[in-house]
Amino acid sequence: MKTFVTGGSGYIGKATISALVRHGHTVEALARTDRSADTVHALGATPVRGGLGDLDVLNRAAARAEAVIHLAQATTGAEDLAATALQDGIGGGPYLHTGGTWVYGDTAGVADETAPWNPPSIVAWRKPVEEAVLARARQGGRPVVIRPGLLYGGENRLIDLFYGTPGKEAGAVPCIGDGGNHWPLVHIDDIAELYVAALRAEPGTEYLGVGGTNPTAKDCALAVAHAVGLDGKTVSLTLDEARAQMGPIADAFALDQQFTPARAEAELGWVPAHTDPLSVLAGR
């Protein structure tokens, strides 16, 4: 299947292009810079020069494709315009849109895609965007929303944003409060396989991209401390201290979330292969 990908030179994008090529798909990928173009070309994709604001470029590339995977992230109305241009172009072909589990806020135990939304401010903008995306299913489109959990593995991790705080520089790995809140982790290679599997999903469906293990933030901190030679050395930050160091994303990392991948397993046959995130984080 000829697939157009945005965000192809990013963390999820590189893994997803590799998975698509491995499964026999032909890939074009948006590339804003020469460096991005070189990156996606090395992965086996054909670069399409432009950025999220180049709506004509997005529309034409989507119209050439049989499917679109929208991985590029933005926090302004440009995201909505890009999604619209891509969906206009792909028409009745599969359109996979990227969200995230943070939109649900705290969960009461293990939750699924039907959990109510209670997003922290940093991701509150997603709701109208995703509602507009999914509404295309009533107009003949094939939208699907993928909401990855906290990513780990490979050359980079979303949670590195958290572990890059000054606590680590002081000789200890930080956690917020007592670290008893849970994080829904997912390996980068598993989330890439979910995007490939979701190309055959039913229109209007939503999937949590989570690994099924939900360790506590404290356990993650201890694992990272082992990996960097700081065994057992963690430091507790108050939420206010974390906000001062990290900004509003601290509220997202303080969420207590547990999720199940049961829907994607049942409907798409997607089964996460990486089920021991703490060993990976610990460098074992």
57-83: per-residue pLDDT in tens? 999 999 999 999 999 976 655 568 999
Whole-structure pTM value:
0.94
Candidates 182, 180, 174, 165; CA nearest to 236 is 174
What's the token pair of residue 39?
């990156």
For residue 127, what is the enclosing H or E element? helix 126-135
Is residue 261 within 8 A of residue 212, CB to CB? The reply is yes
In a domain, 224, yes or no: no
Could you give the count of Cα atoms lying within 13 Å of 60 in the half-sphere of its Cβ? 8
In a domain, 31, yes or no: yes
* Predicted local distance difference test score (pLDDT) of residue 232: 77
Percent of the chain with pLDDT over 90: 83
What's the token pair of residue 183?
């994080």
Candidates 52, 207, 206, 58; CA nearest to 135 is 206
In a domain, 284, yes or no: no
CA 13-15-19 angle, to 5 degrees, is 115
Q: Would you place residue 284 in the very low, low, confident or very high pLDDT band (cuts 50, 70, 90)?
A: confident
Q: Distance from CA of residue 194 to its chain's centroid? A: 11
CATH code of the domain in which 68 resides: 3.40.50.720
From first CA to last CA, the distance across the chain in angstroms is 37
Is residue 107 within 8 A of residue 214, CB to CB? The reply is no
Q: What is the pLDDT of residues 133-182, one digit of tens each?
A: 999 999 999 999 999 999 999 876 667 767 765 555 568 888 999 999 99
Instruction: Characterize 209-237 residue by residue with b for buried, 16 or more Cβ atoms within 10 angstroms of its Cβ, and e for exposed.
Output: bbbbbbbbbbbbbbbbbbeeebeebbbbb
Q: Would you place residue 116 in the very low, low, confident or very high pLDDT band (cuts 50, 70, 90)?
A: very high
In a domain, 16, yes or no: yes
Angle between helices 11-22 and 188-197 (to 10 degrees): 50
In a domain, 96, yes or no: yes
* Predicted local distance difference test score (pLDDT) of residue 162: 75
In a domain, 14, yes or no: yes
Distance of alpha carbon 70 from alpha carbon 94, whole angstroms: 11
In a domain, 25, yes or no: yes
Q: What is the pLDDT of residues 175-226, one digit of tens each?
A: 999 999 999 999 999 999 999 999 999 999 999 999 999 999 999 999 988 8
Numbers of helices and strands, H then E, in the chain: 13, 13
Give residues with Cβ within 8 angstroms of 75, minimum separation 6. 122, 125
* Predicted local distance difference test score (pLDDT) of residue 34: 97
The range of the structural domain enclosing residue 112 comes to 2-152+185-211+260-274
Q: What's the one-letter identity of residue 275?
A: T
For residue 70, is it left (φ>0), alpha (ψ between -120 and 50) or beta? beta
Q: What is the pLDDT of residues 232-244, one digit of tens each?
A: 788 899 999 999 9
The domain total for the chain is: 1
Helix (H, G, I), strand (E, B), or coil: what is residue 20? helix
What's the token pair of residue 279?
């060993």
Alpha-carbon radius of gyration of the chain: 19
In a domain, 179, yes or no: no
